[in-house]
Amino acid sequence: MKIIRIILLIALLAAFIAFPFVFSDPATTTIAVFTLFFAAAASGWNIFSGYTGYIALGHAVYFGIGAYAMALLCQVWNIPAGYAPFFLLPLAGLIAAAFAVPFGWIALRTRRHTFVVITIATFFIMQLMAYNLRSITQGSAGLSLPIPFDWNADFFNLPFYFVALAILLLAFGTSWWVRNSKYGLGLLAIRDDEDRALGLGVNTRPFKLTAFVLSAFFVGMVGALHAYFNGSIFPPFAFDALFDVAIALMAFLGGLGTLFGPILGALILIPAQQYLTVIAGNTGYNLIVYGVIFLAIILLLPEGILPTLSKRWNKWKASRNRSEITPAVATTSDQDDSLVVESSGKGIEQ
């Protein structure tokens, strides 16, 4: 079983690597690049929100800080266009993470809805700052980044694609490590019952804060890469309210708190959204359709695709085993089964 998994993972990775060579049309690879950006950001977001159950709706803050850090670093150090700016990505991520420490510290003093609202508030604070701190951010005039002119149109997307893939792998690896470590177990315990986790000796405050900072680091790196890809940044796009919900929506669609869920969500939603923007334009239809998809996902698949599928799969396996035993046993095991399903709804999933 384990070997099959590893083979599947390698095949998946190979598919990701081969994709831009098979579909080399720049329009297609642009969508692929955006998909990887969001997959990486959603994976990073999931490390905090998915595992701890605290839904942060302000991660556009770290996306924006990463973007502005990238632009300012390039300006201050006169970084030429080309491959050099890619090496600044970890630094931009660290700057975003550094901002996440005080914000997270304040926000994590509260729980549940209040926490959500404070993350939204930090988002608006930072967006206003981007508009108003003109001496640093140039306000609504925006900042521009070095543009690699010597990369032709066919080649342009490739470096971004592979750097985004590297960030995604890093985020995924971290997510996997967290999921299988004692630290991650502590985070899941916080999600299930924070007070009990505290009572059992999980040091909840530092656990939550480190996860928050970690997720901000990945989102910040994606923000920086996105800024370099676009070549310029403006406050409403660097700090975009839609980004806040988009990554949450991807994680919810794929399966909140699962390893592959956010990536699957991004793989479905970003191409869909790009396609919608192309066919519907900016006449409001794109918002309507996006909102309707959003509603449909939450109402029809409240647990996300992967948990729903794995539940179906377990049920199907159970029913197959049951058909081999006597009917009397089958009915009792049926009751047991429903109990298990119910408790697993609250408990650890995946």
Partner 1 sequence: MANLIIGAVITGILTGGVYALMSSGLTLIFGVMEIINIAQGALVILGAYLSYWLQANYHVDLLVGLLITMPIMFTLGLLIEVAFIRPLKRNRTMLSILVTFAIAMIIEGVLTNRVGANYVELNAWYVNASFKIGNFYLPYIYVFGFVLSVVLLSCLYFLLYRTKFGYSLRASMQNRTAAELIGIDVERVSAITFGIGVALAAAGGVAFGATNLFNPNSHYDLISRLLVIIVLGGLGSLRGALVASVALLVIGDVTAVVWSPVWSSTVFFIILVAVLVIRPQGLFGQPEGRKQ
Which residues would be at the binding site for partner 1 (CB under 8 A)?
53, 55, 57, 106, 109-114, 116-118, 120-122, 124-125, 128-129, 131-132, 195, 241, 245, 248-249, 252, 283-292, 294-295, 298-299, 302-303, 345
Q: How far is the CB of 128 from partner 1 (least distance, A)?
A: 5
Q: How far is the CB of 222 from partner 1 (least distance, A)?
A: 21
Q: Which amino acid is at 270?
A: I
Nearer to partner 1, 171 or 248 (CB): 248
Nearer to partner 1, 48 or 229 (CB): 48
Q: Record the tokens describing residue 106, joined without a space.
A: 């304040």
Q: How far is the CB of 294 from partner 1 (least distance, A)?
A: 4
Question: CA angle, 262 as apex, 260 and 266 as ends, to 5°?
Answer: 115
CA separation for the pair 237, 221 (Å, rounded): 16
Nearer to partner 1, 99 or 228 (CB): 99
Neighbours of 36 (CB within 10 A): 27
Nearer to partner 1, 9 or 278 (CB): 278
Q: How far is the CB of 69 from partner 1 (least distance, A)?
A: 20
Q: 3-state SS of 242-272?
A: HHHHHHHHHHHHHCCCCCCHHHHHHHHHHHH
Q: How far is the CB of 298 from partner 1 (least distance, A)?
A: 5
CA separation for the pair 229, 225 (Å, rounded): 6
Q: Helical H runs in 88-149?
A: 89-107, 112-132, 134-137
Nearer to partner 1, 132 or 331 (CB): 132
Q: How far is the CB of 118 from partner 1 (least distance, A)?
A: 6
Nearer to partner 1, 244 or 259 (CB): 244
CA separation for the pair 269, 256 (Å, rounded): 15
Q: What is the DSSP letter of 233?
A: E
CA separation for the pair 152, 349 (Å, rounded): 46
CA separation for the pair 228, 147 (Å, rounded): 8
Residues facing 233 on adjacent strands: 143
Q: How far is the CB of 50 from partner 1 (least distance, A)?
A: 12
CA separation for the pair 19, 161 (Å, rounded): 10
Nearer to partner 1, 88 or 266 (CB): 266
Q: Which amino acid is at 134?
A: R
